[in-house]
Chains A and B, each alone.
Chain A
Amino acid sequence: MTAPKELIVDLTVNLGPLRLAHPLINASGTLDLFDAAESLDPTMLVEPPVAAYVPKTVTLQPRGGNEPPRILETAGGMLNSIGLPNRGIESFVEEDLPRLLALPCPLILSVGGFGAEEYGQLAARLRRALDALQPGWVTRIGLELNVSCPNVHSGCISIGTDPAETRAAVAGARGAWPGLLVVKLTPNIGDIVPVARAAVEAGAGALALVNTFKGLALDRVTLRPFLGGVTGGLSGPAIKPLALRFVHEVAQEIDVPLVGMGGVASVRDVLDFLACGATVVAVGAAGFRDPWLPARLATELAAELRGRGWSLRDVVGRAHR
């Protein structure tokens, strides 16, 4: 029996060549699907709680990450100074890529470089591996260029604060990568539009915004910086209005699909990011508490739209109309 027509809400969205069952994904570095599945529920690998899975950023060389302590709860959110620990691209290709490809959803792989040229090298290595492992992958796999990690002290964030560096990084990846390129932008910048424009002109098919806001917290006893990395990236509900402003601003200036994120914890937040112009919405720190949150928000989004008698199209960009 089919449901009455008015009860069906179509949540599918296209992010460039990727087709997503709904607009909710995870922010890179906030969900390790394999660790979560092993700890909580193996069926997460069969039915992922995200419409597309974004693994943690991988770099050319292995990285241990920053010294502990790495996280601290703050008012309405948390600071992190993780520092992109990962086993490096070769190990990623050998060990992680096969199991990622076995997931039933689209993937947005994430890479970070310490110079503009590294993005092209990372993209080329992934392309070579994907060509061998999964012909026709272009409709299933995108590449996020993380030019905005606030917790590494060279490359990465400095690239994302400079339009010329961003252009070079994206152009390098563009030459090596035939699929979707998503450039993840930093909010730690006065005017985000020149960087966003440079990314799109160099070949980004989508923009993800925003990464965390650089912040500082002190140890309450010693009054010295609490985090091992001294500064950290602020995430959680505290940053939502700040993030929303960037999405609104970029959507107004640049015609490219946006992945909106920053403090998303409720269906209201999802509606807000969509209305400001995001096509896809990513859950970050709120997913630490509840790794199923993206899927739950998708269900709540359908109910919300049904209640209002709206389609997804009625919401996306509404704040601009």
Chain B
Amino acid sequence: MYVVRLFVPGWRPGCPGQFALLQREPSAVFLPRAFSLHGQAPDEVSFLISPLGAGTEELVEVETGDVVWVLGPLGRGFPLDSLAPASRGRLVIVAGGAGVAPFPLLIESLATLDAIPPPTVVVLGFRDAIQAECLETFTAPVAALRARGGDVRLDVICEDGSLGRVGMVTDLLADELRSGDVVAACGAQAMCEAVWQICRQRACPAWFSLEAGMACGVGSCQGCVISMADGSLARVCREGPVFAGEAAFGGRGHPCAAPRSRA
């Protein structure tokens, strides 16, 4: 995974969980790709990008002076008010692989809240230690939150055991989560559904940043819809990308479910 920092004069800062569409100019692909906002500074925004195909490969290869098309910030991010509850419950952040992308910004935002930040536990799952190198992007936000008196703990697990425990992020979550916690999660569909099952068992409200193939990012094309628990369809780009677990998954799914596939 690569952090791609872009100079965007006049960038209107977005909320954690919002996203932008990016495409290198010129590009070998037709559509831009959607990425969670990962970091922001005046006139600057950064993204955590895994090279998975032509569109992402050309983005991680950009060099100083290259031009990137940026459309954003877009969509609805994490509801900060709900994640920092007055009840002093903990915030548990759960992410797998590239799903860590929105959370440095979320932690940074908690540090700027007027209210005292909630005790925060961050559980992260990676394939291996190489993928886990993106952990360093948490260092500054976590320090900022601690400087505000926030109590933050980070726990990591790797599928191959090359860093931290051996296993999946849901193993960490199952040990960690208790009633009264609030969860913010991002990762593969199967991970999100498994996380939701654990949250449901312990009656913890949870918010998920979900993804879908996208064309416009603003609601025009209606191409990125996913089916909600009540059978309705929601545009990931407009109604999401952050959805309440109850709305997105409800009583569906199974801790071991594969990504939903069509018959």
Residues of A near any B CB (own CB < 8 A): 29-32, 35-36, 39-40, 64-65, 67-74, 76-78, 80, 82, 85, 222, 224, 228, 236-237, 285, 287-291
Contact = CB atoms under 8 A, between A and B. Distances in A.
B23 A289 contact: yes
Interface in B189-246: 212-227, 232-233, 238
Interface in B106-132: none
A17 B219 CA distance: 31
Contact of B32 (A31, A68, A236, A289): A289
Contact of A70 (B71, B218, B225, B261): B225
A264 to B, nearest CB: 13
B219 A36 contact: yes
Interface residues of B, number: 31
Q: Is the interface of A mostly helix, strand, loop or mixed?
A: loop
A4 B216 CA distance: 40
The 10 lowest CB-CB distance pairs between A and B, nearest first, are A35-B219, A71-B223, A39-B218, A288-B216, A288-B215, A32-B220, A36-B218, A70-B223, A73-B31, A68-B225
Contact of A291 (B216, B233, B261, B262): B216
B262 A228 contact: yes
Contacts of B32: 289
A68 B211 CA distance: 13
Interface in B13-67: 21, 23, 29-32, 55
A290 B218 contact: no
Q: Is the interface of B mostly helix, strand, loop or mixed?
A: loop
14 contacts: A30-B216, A35-B219, A35-B220, A64-B232, A70-B224, A73-B30, A82-B223, A85-B233, A236-B30, A237-B30, A288-B220, A289-B21, A289-B31, A289-B69
Given A39-B238, A64-B233, A228-B262, A71 B219 contact: no
B224 A78 contact: no
Nearest to A227: B262
Given A35-B218, A222-B261, A288-B31, A80 B233 contact: no
B212 A36 contact: no
A73 B29 contact: yes
Contact of B224 (A31, A71, A287, A290): A71
A70 B238 CA distance: 16
A243 to B, nearest CB: 16
A65 B222 contact: yes
Contacts of A30: 216, 220-221
A289 B221 CA distance: 11
Contacts of B261: 222
B30 A291 contact: no
Contacts of B220: 30-32, 35-36, 287-288, 291
A68 B74 CA distance: 21
A65 B233 contact: yes
Contacts of A32: 218-220
Contact of A285 (B21, B213, B215, B217): B215
Contacts of A236: 30
A72 B261 CA distance: 16
A228 B222 CA distance: 13
Contacts of A224: 262
A39 B219 contact: yes
Given A29-B221, A80-B221, A71 B213 contact: yes
A70 B262 contact: no
Given A72-B213, A290-B69, A78 B31 contact: yes
Nearest to B29: A73
Nearest to A64: B233
B125 to A, nearest CB: 22
Nearest to B227: A68
